[in-house]
């Protein structure tokens, strides 16, 4: 692991710790989540199994539908067979519902 990636990981961990303590760093987390070397817990991301308004995992750029990324999006993923089964998230640990939502949501 290079020095820069160690620093990046350290910075990410500090950010996650700040989120856990309630500090408003959500914009930073959203900017860096895709390059994150680790995933955050559902609790830190404030994950819920229900959508928030029209926002849901099935329409989030971080969602990996059951069966993989192929077909991702409303037509291939959210409205296709992958919509019904829990998938994975690139930035949040564990299985997530296509109808779930968290604070790291980013529209696809
Ligand atoms: S858990 Fe959050 S970041 Fe992951 S797919 Fe769902 S809304 Fe997006």
Which ligand 1 atom is at minimum distance from the Cα of 64?
Answer: 5
Pocket of ligand 1 (CB under 6 A): 45, 47, 57, 60, 62-63, 89, 91-92, 96, 100-102, 104-105
50 contacts 96 by C-beta, under 8 angstroms:
no
pLDDT of residue 38: 87
Over residues 18-43, the pLDDT tens digits come to: 666 655 667 766 666 666 568 999 99
pTM of the model: 0.65
**Pocket perturbation via mutation, ligand 1, pick of 29, 88, 96 by most ligand atoms within 8 A of CB:** 96
Compute, in angstroms, the gap from residue 22 CA to the centroid of ligand 1: 19
Question: Which of the 8 DSSP states describes residue 59?
Answer: G
Compute, in angstroms, the gap from residue 102 CA to the centroid of ligand 1: 5
Over residues 48-87, the pLDDT tens digits come to: 999 999 999 999 999 999 877 654 444 444 455 556 799 9
65 contacts 59 by C-beta, under 8 angstroms:
no
- State both tokens at 100: 């779930």
């Amino acid at each position: 692991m290079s020095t820069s990636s160690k620093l990046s990981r350290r910075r990410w961990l500090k950010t996650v710790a700040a989120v856990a303590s309630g500090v408003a760093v959500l914009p930073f987390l959203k900017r860096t989540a895709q390059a994150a070397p680790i995933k955050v817990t559902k609790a830190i991301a404030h994950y819920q199994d229900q959508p928030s308004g029209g926002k849901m995992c099935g329409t989030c750029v971080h969602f990996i539908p059951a069966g993989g990324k192929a077909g991702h999006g409303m037509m291939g993923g959210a409205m296709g067979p992958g919509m019904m089964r829990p998938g994975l998230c690139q930035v949040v640990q564990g299985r997530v519902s296509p109808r779930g939502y968290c604070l790291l949501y980013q529209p696809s």
